Chain A
Amino acid sequence: MKMLMLGNEAVARGLYEAGCAFVSSYPGTPSTEITEAIAKYQEVYAEWAPNEKVAMEAAFGACLSGKRSFCGMKHVGLNVAADPLFTIAYTGVNAGMVIGVADDAGMHSSQNEQDSRHYARAAKIPMLEPADSAEALHFAKLAYELSEQFDTPVLLKMCTRISHSQSVVETGDRIEISKAYEKNPQKYIMMPGNAKRRHPFVEERTKKLAAWAEDCCINRLEEGNDHSIGIITSSTAYQYVKEVLGDTYPVLKLGMIWPMPEKKIRDFAASVDKLVVVEELDSFIEAHCKDLGLTVSGKEIFPCIDEFSQNLVAGKMNVEKETDGVALSEAIPARPPVMCAGCPHRGLFYTLAKNKITALGDIGCYTLGAVPPLGALDTTICMGASISGLHGFTKAQQGAMDGKAVAVIGDSTFMHSGITGLVNVAYNESNATVIIVDNSITGMTGHQQNPTTGYNLKGDPATKIDLETLCRAVGIRRVRVVDPYDLKETEDAIKEELAANEPSVIISRRPCALLKYVKHNKPVEINADKCVGCKMCMKIGCPAISMKDGKAQIDNTLCTGCNVCTQLCKIGAMKKGEEA
């Protein structure tokens, strides 16, 4: 059937049709919808794992048992899962195993712009790279065939513009695959003696895959009229090249990005006067061409920063194109993302900023606590770095920073990789105060369940990990819960825990205001006669409050009646939003 599908949904459809039976992933933009979409197929077991390493190891276990498996993650998630990745590259698989990884050129929703293609080469496993939804579906299925034929996990590399673009796909039927599990210590126990024997297998496998790459249909030569230039490209860059140049120049479109077909590339280079590689982010195809001793242009023309577009390719390839629209001379104020009205994190960040507390932050919606007017965060690095960072920050200062700094981490991020940091705090005894902002959901990626929410990916009730018990179990004696809508309670708790002479955890608990089950109050009302325009209520950066003619005003369509602002109004000009 012909359908319009997101790239991510098309991957899910391909997994389904290939008989994938087990999926374990951790959400991360732009990869999340692969796993959300596959969870809708009854034949497939699908779960959110606490982190990508766990997901990859679970998917390996499933393929070992004899079922085709998948794990999905964003580019930075693959860093977390890199440990198992490099060794399952040695063991290979039983039934097929596919690893989905989605890069984010342009950093629409990420903390760095890393190019995950390097992992394929470094871990010595094949990587397929679709350029639209139809290829995403096709390549997902093909990945399983390669995985089983060559005894290797296969990387399926997506990126924001492929993951989050809908295009037309043709769906097919599902097949069922099942393999018997047989004990095989030489293959699966990677102690040095065995691993030494597997490494030559891995090198040999790469050669065989490179030979396969020579003749496969997914490394495609598209003829052009003008052989003065030949272009090697893949993924989105291919689409921009075709959009701008059509069939002017011959194009070698790579669907398999690692290993690359040496002869095919050499023959292509020989058929054109000048070889140009068009690829987003790093020099990867280009670097390989240079390894082959070919003269090639790539990053001397095209940037290694940000995503491309048709106008960029046109400009760099000297193609005349009408690229100028009419820009208004008017200054248009920026519209950055903001914490939502009613966001439970707001009261906490206001309190931290007010008390000038150094706050090492983490990854999630609450990263938005860093932007003005709150400006409440000092760092954002990666999942879990707030707690481990705070430990080093306080420990190195030998008491000088005690009572002045906190870590801020979300519930899902804490489960992902905050726990081990907290163990270090307890074990190596830093006087750290850790604040877990528990909004009872994985927020930023669009409301995924996690081990603290009591529900699983399929929406069924699940074991709920109790954060208080967990924190106490790792050795933290001072654990308390506050409601961040209550500014006094929150401030008192922070001051007390910072003053205490031992590590502590404050759980700032309120469900995300966007959750369907969260009931909102009536909007706050402003008594314009009383309002003196002191702008105290503006300090929390709530999108529902603005100033008009020197008076505060409330946007009733946004206000949830959380009443954080009313606690700041000293002159009683704000009437609390009551229960609706």
Chain B
Amino acid sequence: MKTKNIMIVGVGGQGSLLASKLLGRLLLTKGYDIKVSEVHGMSQRGGSVVTYVRFGDKVYSPVIDKGEADYIVSFELLEAARWTEYLKNGGTIVTNTQQINPMPVITGAAQYPEQLVEKMQSANLNVEAIDALKLANEAGSAKAVNIVLMGHLSRHFDFDLSEWMDAIEKSVPAKFLELNKKAFLLGRDA
């Protein structure tokens, strides 16, 4: 099988490590070769962060390059727009519509661009935009944005729902399990 590439992008602190852990767990049970590259250290402090998940028969490079991503899952709208160049022709962007102002916008040095979903669509990109923050709050915690988006991404793969649920069980603490399962299903149905 040709290597599949999923990029998870967002703002440091939004929980991209848990999302990639969940994907990694699931893919390992399916017998794929996998590489997951994460960001630790300074960039985690509210900066733009990106995690690369690659799987297939044999995966060499740990990173995804421009024009290679089958999916970009973005936890924040501006971050989706930042990374579009990495999407392969025919790939799909799954993005949260939530906006988090970066420091240049906060200080007034730059403007947060308007109507980014529409602008991405008019650039002929496949964009699936959902209000993951609203769904996460519905599930019980704003922090579950990551799992909501994984739920939506899951629609693009023909793994059984039970396999996703198993991976969630193995990735989150027991006391948050029900919340995360609910968040996943809300995202999957959105």
Residues of A within 8 A of B (CB): 2-4, 6, 29-30, 32-33, 108-109, 132, 161-162, 164-168, 236, 239-240, 242-243, 309-311, 322-328, 330-340, 365, 368, 371-373, 444-446, 535, 538, 541, 543, 545-547, 557
Q: Of B39, B61, B103, which contacts A336 at CB under 8 A?
A: B103
Is the pair A326, B84 in contact by a Cβ cutoff of 8 Å?
yes
Closest to B62 in A: A165
Q: How far is the CA of A546 from the CA of B12 in the complex (A)?
A: 18
Q: Given A4-B28, A311-B66, A538-B107, is A109 in contact with B123 using a C-beta cutoff of 8 Å?
A: no
Count contacts on B: residues with CB < 8 A to the other chain: 63
Q: Nearest chain B CB to A4's CB is how many angstroms away? A: 5
Closest to B52 in A: A165
Closest to B65 in A: A311
Is the pair A541, B85 in contact by a Cβ cutoff of 8 Å?
no
Q: Nearest chain A CB to B20's CB is how many angstroms away? A: 8
Q: Which residues of B contact A538 (CB under 8 A)?
A: 106-108
29 A–B contacts from the bound complex (CB under 8 Å): A32-B40, A108-B41, A108-B42, A108-B43, A132-B35, A165-B38, A166-B35, A167-B62, A242-B60, A310-B61, A310-B63, A322-B67, A322-B88, A323-B65, A325-B67, A328-B81, A328-B119, A328-B123, A330-B116, A330-B119, A333-B78, A333-B109, A337-B45, A338-B45, A444-B41, A446-B40, A538-B107, A543-B106, A547-B106
Q: Given A4-B34, A326-B125, is A109 in contact with B89 using a C-beta cutoff of 8 Å?
A: no
Q: Which residues of A contact B86 (CB under 8 A)?
A: 325
Residues of B within 8 A of A (CB): 11-13, 20, 24-25, 28, 33-48, 59-63, 65-69, 78-79, 81-82, 84-89, 101-113, 116, 119-120, 123-125, 142
Q: Of A167, A310, A541, which contacts B35 at CB under 8 A?
A: A167
Q: How far is the CA of A555 from the CA of B91 in the complex (A)?
A: 33
Q: Which residues of A contact B107 (CB under 8 A)?
A: 372-373, 538, 541
Which A-B residue pairs are the 9 nearest by beta carbons?
Answer: A109-B41, A29-B41, A337-B47, A335-B102, A333-B110, A165-B62, A243-B60, A325-B85, A335-B48
Q: Of B43, B67, B84, which contacts A323 at CB under 8 A?
A: B67
Closest to B122 in A: A328
Closest to B116 in A: A330
Is the pair A165, B36 in contact by a Cβ cutoff of 8 Å?
yes
Q: How far is the CA of A166 from the CA of B22 in the complex (A)?
A: 12
Q: How far is the CA of A335 from the CA of B88 in the complex (A)?
A: 24
Is the pair B103, A335 in contact by a Cβ cutoff of 8 Å?
yes
Q: Which residues of A contact B84 (CB under 8 A)?
A: 325-328
Closest to A322 in B: B67
Q: How far is the CA of A550 from the CA of B10 in the complex (A)?
A: 28
How many pairs of A and B residues are in contact by the CB < 8 Å rule?
Answer: 189
Give the one of B42, B66, B125 with max A CB within 10 A: B42
Closest to B113 in A: A330
Q: Which residues of B contact A309 (CB under 8 A)?
A: 61, 63, 65
Q: Nearest chain B CB to A22's CB is how many angstroms away? A: 25
Is the pair B85, A109 in contact by a Cβ cutoff of 8 Å?
no
Is the pair B62, A161 in contact by a Cβ cutoff of 8 Å?
yes
Is the pair B40, A546 in contact by a Cβ cutoff of 8 Å?
no
Is the pair B88, A332 in contact by a Cβ cutoff of 8 Å?
no
Is the pair B38, A164 in contact by a Cβ cutoff of 8 Å?
yes
Q: Which residues of A contact B78 (CB under 8 A)?
A: 332-333, 335
Is the pair A444, B47 in contact by a Cβ cutoff of 8 Å?
no
Q: Of B36, B37, B105, B106, which contacts A4 at CB under 8 A?
A: B36
Q: How far is the CA of A372 from the CA of B105 in the complex (A)?
A: 12
Q: Given A166-B36, A239-B60, A337-B45, is A2 in contact with B103 using a C-beta cutoff of 8 Å?
A: no
Is the pair A335, B41 in contact by a Cβ cutoff of 8 Å?
no
Is the pair B42, A324 in contact by a Cβ cutoff of 8 Å?
no
Is the pair A33, B40 in contact by a Cβ cutoff of 8 Å?
yes
Q: How far is the CA of A132 from the CA of B37 in the complex (A)?
A: 11
Is the pair A330, B47 in contact by a Cβ cutoff of 8 Å?
no
Q: How far is the CA of A311 from the CA of B65 in the complex (A)?
A: 6
Closest to A368 in B: B45
Q: Which residues of B contact A167 (CB under 8 A)?
A: 33-36, 59, 62
Q: Of B25, B63, B79, B87, which contacts A325 at CB under 8 A?
A: B87
Q: How far is the CA of A331 from the CA of B109 in the complex (A)?
A: 12
Q: How far is the CA of A162 from the CA of B124 in the complex (A)?
A: 35
Is the pair B123, A161 in contact by a Cβ cutoff of 8 Å?
no
Q: Which residues of A contact B28 (CB under 8 A)?
A: 2-4, 168
Is the pair A334, B102 in contact by a Cβ cutoff of 8 Å?
yes
Q: Which residues of B contact A543 (CB under 8 A)?
A: 46, 101, 103, 106
